[in-house]
Amino acid sequence: MKRCSALLLGLFLCAMPVLALEEIRVGVELQPYAPYSEVVEGEYRGYARDLLDAFAAEHGYR
């Protein structure tokens, strides 16, 4: 029983950071300005996207 409780506690603690992620939403202009930003097939790409993704990962956003 102790082993099962410890396992459940461990799983819960491992899942906590995933559950704690906040969503961040950033508005961007749809102006082509390669290599900094562009929209290809409806997907925002470029350096600015990479920078925003890195910021989100570093600060616990998704």
Total-model pTM: 0.60
pLDDT 10s digits, 2-61: 676 776 667 666 655 555 578 888 888 888 888 889 989 989 999 999 999 999 999 888
Domain boundaries defined on the chain: 21-62
The C-alpha atoms of residue 45 and residue 32 are separated, in whole angstroms, by 10
pLDDT 10s digits, 37-51: 998 998 999 999 999
Q: Which structure tokens are listed for 25?
A: 């939403």
The C-alpha atoms of residue 4 and residue 57 are separated, in whole angstroms, by 32
